[in-house]
Structure 1
Amino acid sequence: MTISPSVRPAGSTAVRTRRRPRLLVAAATLFLIGCLWHWPPNALQYDLRVYVVSAQAFLHGQDIYTAHLAYPKDMALGFTYPPFAALLFAPVALLGTAGGRVLMTLLNASALLAIGIVTLRALRPQWSRYRVAAIGMAIGAAGVALEPVRSTFDLGQVNLILTALLLVDLLGHLPHRFRGVLVGVATGIKLTPGIFIVYLLVTRRYREAATAAAATAGTMVAGAIAMPEASRQFWGVYMFDPSRPGATHFISNQAWRGVFARVAGGIDGIAPYWLLAVVLTCTLGFLAVRRAYERSLVLESVLLAAVVGLLVSPISWTGHWVWALPICAVLVHHTLQARSARRGVLAGLALAWLVTMAFGLPWHSPHLGDKEYTHHGIQLVVGNSYALCGVAVLGLALYGFRRRLTRAA
């Protein structure tokens, strides 16, 4: 006797429903273990060492901005973040070097999965939670194919963590009264997320902008109470020194200032051109941001603001470009959704971003030993390819969001 296809065994749906969370947890656990396997506790994670040295200095009552001088030059660079960041890194310092590496790797891996999930939720709001979580985690895990993501893991950086915090906040995953808090906290850690306070103003989310500004001020006060002298030095001196994080012309700096320094053969005389590029990028970039937001393309507006921030910051190392993951996802999504007349352009841009970020093209041009100053021809394109990808996506957005269009691009 056969069972009709329309008849289901009792409880089968409930069993599958119970299995789904277990499958997701198992998949996430395997990914976390895989990340630990690839970036084990004995991995170098150079930037994490900087965080640990500064946090240990704080715990021992020393100056967090000069503590690195007690180490060999190749062991630790100077701490470049606000004092509040050193407070947050104190637990990492207490764990020790190996424990800190494990914690940072797990946090970065978790942030990567979160980025994939919130990105997909914004692109597919009608999908079920399980489907978004499963496919979103797969998108996030695929992010390790991109050089900015790998660089963040390699260095033990905080880029993925900050990106996840910002997306969760800006895409509305917090209760209304708390929206803007994570933007402020992220800004208190690394300053550059402050571009999103401008984003909130441009998109007329004034209450969230005020909350973000207040949260940022709170981090400044906390840092000043814990380390008054270090706070005075940072806010009065160090934050105005763009060369403190490293050489401006180094190939890893894919911000406008790095591009101009490489093309001009040094930073002397580039200030007028750099400032002009910053003004134009902010003006046109936030115009595209506003138009995207008015068309209810919230995720796209956030990503455009991120590109603006990456280009206008004095330093944007390749690891800072972890925004490439959601940007690539959005470009692929719009390519699949576009009409045939525009599909070719979008597909070309998506392919350019994927290839550039997967292979880390700037690293394939001459670098180190001031070789960046010798670039010519195709080397100029390859050596500045991250910045060029950013300009291309802003340009396409401006074209697609022209005022005479009555629907979103």
Structure 2
Amino acid sequence: MTIDLQPARVRRQAIPVLAATMLPVLCLLLWHPWNATMGDLRVYHAAARAFVHGQDIYTIPGLGLGFTYPPFAALLFAPFALGAGFARVLITLASAASLLVIGWTTARALRWGPLAAVGIAFAALAFEPVWSTFGLGQINLVLLALLMPALVGRTRFRGVLIGVATGIKLTPGIFILYLLMTRRFREAAIACGTTAGTLLLAYVVMPRATIDFWTKYVFDPSRPGPPHYISNQSLHGAIARLSGNSAVPLWLLTATVVGVAGLLIARRLHDRGLEFDAVVVTALTGLLVSPISWTGHWVWIVPATALAWSRCSAVLSWRTAWAVVLTAVFVTGLPWWLPFAHDQEFHYNAVQTVVANAYLLCAVGLIGQALNSDARIRYTWRVRS
């Protein structure tokens, strides 16, 4: 089948292709809610029930880990209060549909056809961050589906979508900084205003919870879990494992340097016309500098890996070898192969330390590849001139 990449023809082909694949994707995933623990969804469900019944969403007994999102997220999770089973099906269907959105926007950004979009959605199911998101009942894929059209699509609601995503979970706020760095001040202002609107709405509905979150719980590092746990693939996690959780100032300094450098690189890529590369670098920078980046949060690796494969110009090349290694790390969930929990993370040898931080190191490699793409463009410009 030959795919015509003219926009009108692509749209006509995409509708039947995506419609034909939606049902099997959802059917493929429908079994998952009944076989997974969905521990994070249990927290969402409890927070939704607390909100509906007028209780404090941040002091729910018997959960182990507390609800860590802004109060606005609890408003959106309110349908989960209808029942745990309903919540499990709803989050799975929403995540499955999100995969199609992610596949479509990624393929379009890379100028691939609609069949490639479906292929990306299906291939994503093999990645550990994706099946971890399904298994825990997290909202990572839903947030990514909100952000991808805003960042690499052609929507007029870029600022609104980024603002809503930031209101649900604070980490997408790095894309507001990205808008500022790339001098898109109007869209950045809309994103800030939308985020402020989510905060105001939450305050009107849950004033006490909103005040408590912004004055107390947002500064409590113990709520998400121990930073040294193997699942935390951020700079904070790596430093905590190496130092025994005692180097917070070092992490803050490192995160500041990496954050500024990552955003400067993203702006450079944007200015060179490498918009998709710039967005991926910004997302990876956010994962690196966040205090907690559980492996399930790394769903950005789906578009990032597609981007890496799109740069492969020959079968036998370092770019192809890199794409193979990158795919293997995230398909196998390499850090999980180590002994973990019960503070075993503090006793890794040199080789185990590399494996324990595999996602983080891959992010550094992807940022380096983006810089290499920029260097190739500059070299081409010099040769042509």
With normalisation by structure 1, the TM-score equals 0.86
Does residue 79 of structure 1 match 2:67? yes
Does residue 54 of structure 1 match 2:47? yes
Aligned equivalent of 2:245 = 267
Residues in 1 aligned to 2:295 and 2:96: alpha-carbon distance in whole angstroms = 18
Aligned equivalent of 2:24 = 30
Residues in 1 aligned to 2:109 and 2:81: alpha-carbon distance in whole angstroms = 36
Aligned equivalent of 1:13 = none
Q: Secondary structure at the match of 1:145?
A: coil
Residues in 2 aligned to 1:391 and 1:300: alpha-carbon distance in whole angstroms = 13
Query: Where do 1:369-380 residues align within 5 Å?
Result: 369-380=342-353
Runs of 4+, deviation exceeding 6 Å? 17-20
Does residue 354 of structure 1 match 2:327? yes
Aligned equivalent of 1:121 = 108
Summarize the Cα distance change of 1:79–1:135 in structure 2 as closer, same or farther, 3 Å threshold. Answer: same
Moved more, 305-314 or 20-29: 20-29
Aligned equivalent of 1:162 = 143
Q: Name structure 2 gaps, 5 residues minimum.
A: 1-10
Q: Which amino acid aligns with 1:234?
A: F
Moved more, 207-216 or 346-355: 346-355
Match of 1:255 among 228, 234, 241: 234
Q: CA deviation at 1:173?
A: 3.1
Aligned equivalent of 1:97 = 84
Instruction: Figure out how many residues of one structure are paired with residues of the other and give that number.
Output: 371
Moved more, 322-331 or 24-33: 24-33
Q: Secondary structure at the match of 1:261?
A: helix
Aligned equivalent of 2:8 = none
Does residue 147 of structure 1 match 2:148? no
Q: Which amino acid aligns with 2:163?
A: G
Aligned equivalent of 2:191 = 212
Do the aligned residues in 2 keep the contact of 1:352 with 1:389 (CA within 8 Å)?
no
Does residue 108 of structure 1 match 2:95? yes
Summarize the Cα distance change of 1:275–1:19 in structure 2 as closer, same or farther, 3 Å threshold. Answer: closer
Do the aligned residues in 1 keep the contact of 2:151 with 2:158 (CA within 8 Å)?
yes
Q: CA deviation at 1:407?
A: 4.6
Summarize the Cα distance change of 1:377–1:66 in structure 2 as closer, same or farther, 3 Å threshold. Answer: same
Does residue 189 of structure 1 match 2:182? no
Residues in 2 aligned to 1:148 and 1:44: alpha-carbon distance in whole angstroms = 16
What percent identity do the matched residue pairs reach?
50
Q: CA deviation at 1:47?
A: 0.6
Do the aligned residues in 1 keep the contact of 2:100 with 2:117 (CA within 8 Å)?
yes
Q: Secondary structure at the match of 1:247?
A: coil
Residues in 1 aligned to 2:185 and 2:277: alpha-carbon distance in whole angstroms = 19
Q: CA deviation at 1:44?
A: 2.2
Q: CA deviation at 1:393?
A: 1.6
CA RMSD in angstroms comes to 2.0
Q: Secondary structure at the match of 1:157?
A: coil
With normalisation by structure 2, the TM-score equals 0.92
Residues in 1 aligned to 2:51 and 2:183: alpha-carbon distance in whole angstroms = 39
Residues in 1 aligned to 2:372 and 2:119: alpha-carbon distance in whole angstroms = 32
Is the radius of gyration larger for structure 1 or structure 2? Answer: 1
Do the aligned residues in 1 keep the contact of 2:14 with 2:114 (CA within 8 Å)?
no
Residues in 2 aligned to 1:363 and 1:42: alpha-carbon distance in whole angstroms = 20
Q: Name structure 1 gaps, 5 residues minimum.
A: 1-16
Deviations 1:56-88 (A, max 9, x none): 001101000012x1x3xxx55210000000000
Deviations 1:311-359 (A, max 9, x none): 00000000000001000000000113x7x9xx73322321221011000
